[in-house]
């Protein structure tokens, strides 16, 4: 199967171990390094390595030089001058006339392959340095912590008691109001400290006519139900006092039908706001709406005035809230922003937001929501990264869904992230092939700047996917715990920014995104699944303690039916990670695939063994992590 790794494959990625001088500006030069392990019989893995880079649209080749050799393999190096804003490249690795292999970001191919999987370096895609070290925690503000604000309850709201079950089907779904506030979030920041999270991501806080608040009535004011502007400033101060970062959520694709702009556009066809939307009798409601939902009129990004107010320049919404304490933005429906019919302004919008960030808060992070393949939107000076549903969530769900072939034990009533079918159960080889294909299509910095989610406020809970139940309560009997914790371990050991959705650490279950927005059960700690909570603390601590897990490269060694194995390599350390979903045979690999150092120190999980040139990895379920050397 294409994309399935071999332990003795040559390797390169965009991490510091393999790229020296990363961050070079246009016209600068980087040094590219390739690790070529010896063959199984100890013979050299290559007699020649050739760099093929695309310069001004035309391939240019140059020979790499072997600079060192050890008992495990050889290192090759070659310089690359960055002539274009985005430079794509690959390596020809050959042992002789009959050996023809391309090394690309998707793996090793003994044939010609399309350029889509080539390595890429972007001189414009400069990720803020702090992002790689973050562990995020996502909060739905209405459901995390409750305080009194004195704000009147609006007519649309259906007041609920904190322990009242959420309604996740029918017309009342967006109107259940539990009374969570930003001061309530601030009161529980100690929980983030307990977990070890370093970043708080809030879903929208602007005034709206729903508790999800993606139907904003203004981008200029925080919802009084959450405590208003002052509460956001208090929360930002508290977050920073705890040494955390704060990321907000902005909808650039649409507003609510009661938004100030839309109401002025309806009232006065000659108003500037009229150009912010698309009005025509050809649309079902007389105006373009997101997914034809009338309460969500779609913004028209051909309007320069709308861009100026929302995201372009120092007077924009984007700039204003960065100055008021945000460390970054997650942009809702980024994949559809600026795209409508014949218009495709998505890259222009993303680049303009980045320009605003550069001018106002150059160290801020810009994250895009994208529910499927975002690779075409991640190579330029726009989004720093995406919510990695395509390259992380989807393949992991397929591998850890019930853990049994043939659909046995699948949770009923779930669709596969928008597809009207049961979530499939696939081997690790298929999951890894998807991961490599997706991540091989974007620059390394885009992968590092993307977020890894087991689930979110828009999906079923991962604990339900792994078989933990469908009732919306905590899975206390542990039916889905083991597979859940395998997923957690991979979330904390793979490249990207892991983000925990509030309550996952307790073992909460849910069958869809609305069901997942459960009020946090602070008053009922007896309902928390303590083994799951402790596992979250351990795995987050492990990630924070080891630079290779936060900033290291990713070298796949093996993917079979029930296990996957990879190395996280950094100049300061190398870690071996082995994940098993259900009992299987031990995995034997050539020990020199690890590199010149084959001694192992186990940090988590079952021990591995190296003897007589063979690395033996355990077949018992769980995830093990080992220091190499």
Confidence band of 415 (pLDDT split at 50, 70, 90) = confident
Measured CA to CA, the distance from residue 567 to residue 40 in angstroms comes to 19
Closest by CA to 138, choosing from 85, 89, 197, 96, is 197
Q: Which residue has the higher pLDDT, 585 or 125?
A: 585
Which pLDDT score, from 0 to 100, does residue 561 have?
97
Backbone torsions φ then ψ of 229, nearest 5 degrees: -55, -40
Span 592-613, average pLDDT: 96
Altogether, the residues listed in the chain come to a count of 629
Does position 168 have pLDDT exceeding 80, yes or no? yes
Q: What is the DSSP letter of 612?
A: T
Pairing of β 573-580 and β 563-570: antiparallel
Closest by CA to 47, choosing from 116, 93, 113, 1, is 93
Q: What six digits make up the tokens of 489?
A: 């371990």
Q: How far is CA 437 from CA 32, 84, 148, 568, in A?
A: 21, 24, 49, 18
Pairing of β 245-251 and β 199-202: parallel
As a whole number, the mean pLDDT across the chain is 95
Which ranges constitute the DSSP H helices of 242-345? 260-267, 304-310, 317-323
Closest by CA to 568, choosing from 616, 603, 620, 606, is 603
Which pLDDT score, from 0 to 100, does residue 333 have?
97
Which pLDDT score, from 0 to 100, does residue 192 have?
98
Which pLDDT score, from 0 to 100, does residue 2 have?
57
Helix axes 530-545, 481-491, angle to 10 degrees: 20
Q: How far is CA 306 from CA 255, 256, 538, in A?
A: 12, 15, 46
Domains of the chain, each with CATH number or no CATH: 19-122 (2.60.40.10), 134-252+289-547 (3.20.20.80), 254-288 (no CATH), 552-628 (2.60.40.1180)
Does position 272 have pLDDT exceeding 70, yes or no? yes
What are the beta bridge partners of residue 403?
none
Which pLDDT score, from 0 to 100, does residue 413 have?
59
Confidence band of 24 (pLDDT split at 50, 70, 90) = confident
* Residue where the block lists tokens 């101060």: 237
Could you give the dihedral angle defined by the CA atoms of residues 309, 315, 318 and 320, in that order, rounded to the nearest 10 degrees? -130
Confidence band of 422 (pLDDT split at 50, 70, 90) = confident
Which pLDDT score, from 0 to 100, does residue 379 have?
86
Which ranges constitute the DSSP H helices of 173-271? 182-187, 189-195, 228-241, 260-267
Alpha-carbon 514 to chain mean position: 20
Does position 377 have pLDDT exceeding 60, yes or no? yes
What are the beta bridge partners of residue 387?
451
Confidence band of 199 (pLDDT split at 50, 70, 90) = very high
Could you give the dihedral angle defined by the CA atoms of residues 557, 560, 564 and 567, in that order, rounded to the nearest 10 degrees? 0
Q: pTM for the full model? A: 0.96
Range from 19-33, 126-140, 300-314, 323-337 carrying the lowest mean pLDDT: 19-33
Closest by CA to 487, choosing from 340, 621, 352, 311, is 621
Which ranges constitute the DSSP H helices of 334-461? 346-360, 394-400, 428-439, 444-448
Contact present, 183 and 225 (Cβ < 8 Å): no
What are the beta bridge partners of residue 623?
579
Contact present, 447 and 496 (Cβ < 8 Å): yes
Confidence band of 454 (pLDDT split at 50, 70, 90) = very high
Written as one string, the DSSP assignment of 158-189 is EE--TTSPPP-SSTTGGGEE--B-HHHHHHTH
Which pLDDT score, from 0 to 100, does residue 406 have?
36
Could you give the dihedral angle defined by the CA atoms of residues 2, 6, 11 and 12, in that order, rounded to the nearest 10 degrees? 40
Contact present, 67 and 26 (Cβ < 8 Å): no
Helix (H, G, I), strand (E, B) or coil at 317: helix
Span 186-211, average pLDDT: 98
Range from 127-136, 400-409, 541-550, 573-582 carrying the lowest mean pLDDT: 400-409
Contact present, 128 and 171 (Cβ < 8 Å): no
Measured CA to CA, the distance from residue 320 to residue 310 in angstroms comes to 10
Does position 410 have pLDDT exceeding 80, yes or no? no
Helix (H, G, I), strand (E, B) or coil at 15: coil
Q: What six digits make up the tokens of 394?
A: 């989807």
**Number of CB atoms found within 10 A of residue 341's CB:** 7
Does position 408 have pLDDT exceeding 70, yes or no? no
Closest by CA to 127, choosing from 13, 250, 15, 251, is 15
Q: What is the pLDDT of residues 525-555, one digit of tens each?
A: 999 999 999 999 999 999 999 999 999 999 9
Alpha-carbon 316 to chain mean position: 27
Contact present, 558 and 589 (Cβ < 8 Å): yes
Q: What six digits make up the tokens of 9?
A: 């494959």
**Number of CB atoms found within 10 A of residue 114's CB:** 9
Burial 217-238 (b: 16+ CB within 10 A, else e): bbbeebbbbbbbbebbebbbeb
Which pLDDT score, from 0 to 100, does residue 407 have?
40
The two most distant CA atoms of the chain are separated, in Å, by 81
Span 41-52, average pLDDT: 97
Closest by CA to 72, choosing from 581, 434, 569, 421, is 569
Contact present, 254 and 289 (Cβ < 8 Å): yes
């Amino acid at each position: 199967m294409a994309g399935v790794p071999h332990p003795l494959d040559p390797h390169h990625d965009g991490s510091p171990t393999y790229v020296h001088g990363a961050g070079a500006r246009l016209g600068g030069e980087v040094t590219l390094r390739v690790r070529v392990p010896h063959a199984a019989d100890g013979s050299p893995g290559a007699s020649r390595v050739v760099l093929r880079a695309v310069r001004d649209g035309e391939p240019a080749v140059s020979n790499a030089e072997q600079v060192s050799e050890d008992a495990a393999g050889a290192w090759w190096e070659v310089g690359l001058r960055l002539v274009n804003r985005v430079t794509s490249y690959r390596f020809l690795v050959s042992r002789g006339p009959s050996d023809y292999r391309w090394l690309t970001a998707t793996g090793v191919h003994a044939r010609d392959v399309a350029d889509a999987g080539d390595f890429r370096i972007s001189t414009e895609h400069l990720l803020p340095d702090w992002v790689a070290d973050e562990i995020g925690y996502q909060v739905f503000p209405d459901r995390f912590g409750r305080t009194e604000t004195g704000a009147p309850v609006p007519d649309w709201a259906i007041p609920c008691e904190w322990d009242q079950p959420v309604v996740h089907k029918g017309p009342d779904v967006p109107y259940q109001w539990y009374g969570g506030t930003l001061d309530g979030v601030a009161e529980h920041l100690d929980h983030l400290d307990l977990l070890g999270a370093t970043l708080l991501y809030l879903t929208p806080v602007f005034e709206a006519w729903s508790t999800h608040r993606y139907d904003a009535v203004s981008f200029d004011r925080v919802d009084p139900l959450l405590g208003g502007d002052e509460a956001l400033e208090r929360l930002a101060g508290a977050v920073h006092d705890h040494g955390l970062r704060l990321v907000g959520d902005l909808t650039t694709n649409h507003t609510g039908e009661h938004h100030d702009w839309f109401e002025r556009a309806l009232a006065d066809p000659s108003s500037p706001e009229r150009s912010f939307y698309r009005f025509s009798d050809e649309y079902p409601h007389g105006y373009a709406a997101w997914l034809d939902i009338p309460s969500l009129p779609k913004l028209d990004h051909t309007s320069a005035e709308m861009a100026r107010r929302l995201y372009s320049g120092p007077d924009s919404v984007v700039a204003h809230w960065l100055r008021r304490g945000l460390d970054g933005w997650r942009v809702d429906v980024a994949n559809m922003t600026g795209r409508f019919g014949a218009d495709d302004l998505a890259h222009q919008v993303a680049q303009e937001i980045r320009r605003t960030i550069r001018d106002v808060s150059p160290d801020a992070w810009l994250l895009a929501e994208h529910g499927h393949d975002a690779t075409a939107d991640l190579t330029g000076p726009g989004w720093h990264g995406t919510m990695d549903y395509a390259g992380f969530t989807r393949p992991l769900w397929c591998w850890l869904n019930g853990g049994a072939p043939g659909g046995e034990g699948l949770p009923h009533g779930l669709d596969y992230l928008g597809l009207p079918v049961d979530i499939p159960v696939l081997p690790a080889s298929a999951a890894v092939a998807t991961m490599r294909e997706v991540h091989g299509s974007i620059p390394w910095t885009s992968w590092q700047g993307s977020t890894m989610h087991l689930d979110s406020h828009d999906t079923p809970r991962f604990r339900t996917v792994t078989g933990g139940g469908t009732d919306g309560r905590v899975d206390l009997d542990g039916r889905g715990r083991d597979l859940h914790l395998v997923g957690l371990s991979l979330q904390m050991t793979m490249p990207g920014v892991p983000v925990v959705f509030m309550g996952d650490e307790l073992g909460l279950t849910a069958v869809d995104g609305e069901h997942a927005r459960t009020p946090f059960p602070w008053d009922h700690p007896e309902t928390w699944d303590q083994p799951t909570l402790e596992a979250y603390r351990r795995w987050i601590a492990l990630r924070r303690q080891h630079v290779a897990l936060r900033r290291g490269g990713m070298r796949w060694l093996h993917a079979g039916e029930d296990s996957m194995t990879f190395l996280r390599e950094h100049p300061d350390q190398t870690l071996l990670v082995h994940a098993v979903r259900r009992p299987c045979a031990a995995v034997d690999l050539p020990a020199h695939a690890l590199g010149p150092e084959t001694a192992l120190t186990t940090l988590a999980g079952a021990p591995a063994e190296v003897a007589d040139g063979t690395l033996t990895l355990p077949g018992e379920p769980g995830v093990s992590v080992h220091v190499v050397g």
